[in-house]
Chains A and B, each alone.
Chain A
Amino acid sequence: MKGRVTFAEDTCKGCGLCVEFCPKHILTLDTTRINSIGYNPAYCLDQENCIACAFCALMCPDSVITVERIDV
């Protein structure tokens, strides 16, 4: 199963809970950028390995994350 994870970047507060709970360790905080509300936003390093488990979205306090399943 393959998935795709996307972030509403400008409401992300960079708390890192999605990063913490991603079982595939493909999420990280972008420490080189600051979003419009002053935080390092989360992003996906490796979409190829997303399994659409949505653990990241379940733990996101700000409902920033959308998870889709790619039917192959």
Chain B
Amino acid sequence: MSKVLMKGNEAIAKAAIYAGCKAYFGYPITPQNEITEYMAKYMALSKGVFVQAESEIAAINMVYGAAGAGVRTMTSSSSPGIALKQEGISYCAGAELPAVIVSVSRGGPGLGNILPAQSDYNQATRGGGNGDYKVFVLSPNGVQEATDMVRHAFYLADKYRNPVMVLADGMIGQMMEPVELNIEPLETIEKPWAADGNLERGYRNIINSLYLNSKPLEEHNHVLNAKYLEWEANEVMVDYYQCEDATVLLVAYGTPSRIVKSAVNKLRAEGIKAGLLRPKTLYPFPSKEISALCPQVEFVLSAELSMGQMVQDVRLAVNGQVPVYFYGRTGGVVFEDKEIVDAVKSHLGGVK
């Protein structure tokens, strides 16, 4: 398949269908509407399921139902809508259901606006649902990677029986870039646990997150946690740029990381040895990878389109080895590379 120019939202929807998504549930919200609209058309044409739910809460619970019944399923939304989905995400995690949630985030809090932002890092990685649960969070930096990560999300969801979120931003949703889609069928795995109404298997399946007694619930939490530790050990994805000899480490994710990459080039042109570490998985977070670079760098700077969210994970990773600084713009304002250059320069030469 050759490259085609495609809008991020449309590419995400197409990638999901190629990855074997058979059921989509959504509710209109900008800037992700094209995903819902594409699914409305192509799920019908490919004999899949499309339902425009009455709300985001309903949509995620439809996902819970479809995933519990053993089918590859997905929902998508944007910040305020993802906020409403938190309840259902917690239930999916508690009942160990594979589901993909695409979050095309926008400016907040509240209604905020529909411009690109990264102020939903905490919402994605910590979530607002109740309980000791984790969501696998992937962060693409462009349209091509968004499609690859949606595919990977379905793989991870099935492999670990867990909700996986693809955290894009309004830029990726609305932007067009050349894309080459992977149209190979994604391997399906057996789901002997699914409540698909087939007692010929010889036993009953129950999808549930209720554990009335303390011991079984504690055991359940240990089972879940073992899964999260396995991700941290095996599933971290990270991209390095000019890090080998870097004496200043920049950390940035998503589309804004591309601007930080330009800033690295500008800094290098001025003789400042900057490097960029880009987390592609926000949970599990590349803590070891960041920590490993600390001995060679003067400081670490986290650049985000937020008031400072990922920087907290960066601080935990650095754990006091070197100073950690933050630079951010918010509300839909996207920083320019020269702002990052200036921020780095302002911190050079030790703590002032």
Direct contact of A and B (CB under 8 A): no
